Amino acid sequence: MEKCKFSFYYLSLLLLLFACDNDDDNFSKSGSEELILDGYLIVNGNSYSSSLDIISDDLQNIESSIFLAENNSELPSISNIIFKEDLAYFFFNNSNNIYILYKSNLRVKEIFKIQQNILGSHIDENNDLYLTTNNELLIYNNVDLFNQFPETYPLQENYKKIIDIGENLFLYNNGGISSSISVFNKTKKEITDEFEFENATNFTREGNFLYFLSGNYITEFSLVTKSITKQISILNDENYNKSFQVLKNRVYLFSGLNLYAIPISENQIDEEDILLPFENNEQGNRLAQNMKILDNYIFLSFNNFWDPSDQNQLYVYNLEGEFQKSFFTNGGMKELYKIEND
């Protein structure tokens, strides 16, 4: 027992030393001191790098490469951004770094490192930070990264997504031949339920439901009853470049050829559900890449894969499919966030 205690103490010391390896001095503060950011934050990029554009609340202006302008540095591939009070926490694919930025101007304040690459991240209403790594869940109380050792709990899978519902964390991956969901109870500090789905991809949450593509269906999974409650057939559209969100009792499905607005009460899609067709229009050679919905606006991203020199384009519509604005961006939209500063 004494040997175990000594080993734990030694490991904890190593973790603390590793976490304090702070390299935020690599960033220079080049931006304007008066810059205050508000609007729609567009995360562009690929598996290796990211750039940030911001569109004003009124959809009239776009500022490109905000992070580069403020820090004189490029960003790795972003997996998640969490805004908390006056800070923004950036998490990355295949990285053990957490960038802590000032939310007002997205300048780097400091960088925190853990030993393993971070897969999933979430901050709950109590300001506790949850991280998933390789077969492990880490918990930092009150997002206090630099002054504590995290609680650690073993996991059977490597989970990249975390959803918080009451006393439970739902841990899952965003697709594959087999996708599993584990339910971690925050009070009991253990996994209490596990579910497995075949060919489940493109998970999205709305309220107390988790929706995902599974074969030729959109499946609705209740996070309260922990059971499948509905399936919508999408067999009529065989394009596989699909992204979707659920909002106001409608499923907005972007297939690449069409944008559908499907009433949640329906059991299958049909031509009457097509909100916008994209077969022959102003997008030209650009292919549909992604869709995000925020503040009752639909953001659709198009890339020209035949001509890399051609700029990516972002189209904005309201929920009824009426065109609002278009923008050229520095890359294909991966994620969309709202950034607000008082």
Answer yes or no: is pLDDT of 251 > 80: yes
pLDDT bin (cut points 50, 70, 90) of residue 303 is: confident
The predicted structure's pLDDT at residue 223: 93
Answer yes or no: is pLDDT of 41 > 70: yes
> What pLDDT digit, counting tens, does each position of 72-105 carry?
999 999 999 999 999 999 999 999 999 999 999 9
Look at 179-193, 212-226, 307-321 and tell me which has the smallest mean pLDDT: 307-321
Residues 156, 132: Cα–Cα separation, whole Å: 11
CA angle in degrees (0–180, nearest 5) for 277-280-281: 85
SS3 content of the chain, % helix, strand, coil (to 5): 10, 50, 40
The predicted structure's pLDDT at residue 180: 86
Residue where the block lists tokens 């998933």: 132
- Spatial CB neighbours of 10, under 8 Å, sequence gap ≥ 6: none
Answer yes or no: is pLDDT of 10 > 60: no
Look at 10-19, 94-103, 123-132 and tell me which has the smallest mean pLDDT: 10-19
The predicted structure's pLDDT at residue 1: 45
> What pLDDT digit, counting tens, does each position of 282-297 carry?
555 566 778 999 999 9
- CB count within 10 Å of CB 22 equals 12
3 burial (CB, 10 Å; 0-12 / 13-18 / 19+) is exposed
The predicted structure's pLDDT at residue 295: 95
pLDDT bin (cut points 50, 70, 90) of residue 26 is: low
Output the six-digit token pair for 37. Answer: 């950011």
The predicted structure's pLDDT at residue 289: 79
Answer yes or no: is pLDDT of 302 > 60: yes
CA 276, chain centre distance (Å): 25
Answer yes or no: is pLDDT of 319 > 70: yes
Answer yes or no: is pLDDT of 161 > 70: yes
Phi-psi group of 336: left, alpha or beta (phi > 0 → left; psi -120 to 50 → alpha; rest → beta) = beta
The predicted structure's pLDDT at residue 2: 42
The predicted structure's pLDDT at residue 216: 85
> What pLDDT digit, counting tens, does each position of 170-215 carry?
999 876 666 889 999 999 999 999 998 888 888 899 999 999 988 8
Residue 267 sits at φ, ψ, to 5 deg, of: -105, -10
Positive or negative, the CA dihedral 258, 264, 265, 267 is positive
The predicted structure's pLDDT at residue 6: 38
Do 131 and 72 meet the contact criterion of CB atoms below 8 Å apart?
A: no
* CA diameter of the chain: 73
Answer yes or no: is pLDDT of 16 > 70: no
The predicted structure's pLDDT at residue 121: 97
pLDDT averaged over every residue in the chain: 85
Q: Could you tell me the residue ranges of all domains in the chain? A: 1-113, 240-335
What average pLDDT score do residues 120-128 get?
94
Answer yes or no: is pLDDT of 166 > 80: yes
Do 241 and 288 meet the contact criterion of CB atoms below 8 Å apart?
A: yes
Whether pTM > 0.85 for this model: the answer is: yes
Closest CA to 167 of 135, 190, 147, 145: 190
Closest CA to 332 of 275, 292, 296: 292
> What pLDDT digit, counting tens, does each position of 131-157 carry?
999 999 999 999 988 888 999 999 988
The predicted structure's pLDDT at residue 237: 62
The predicted structure's pLDDT at residue 17: 40
Answer yes or no: is pLDDT of 25 > 60: no
Residue where the block lists tokens 């009457």: 272
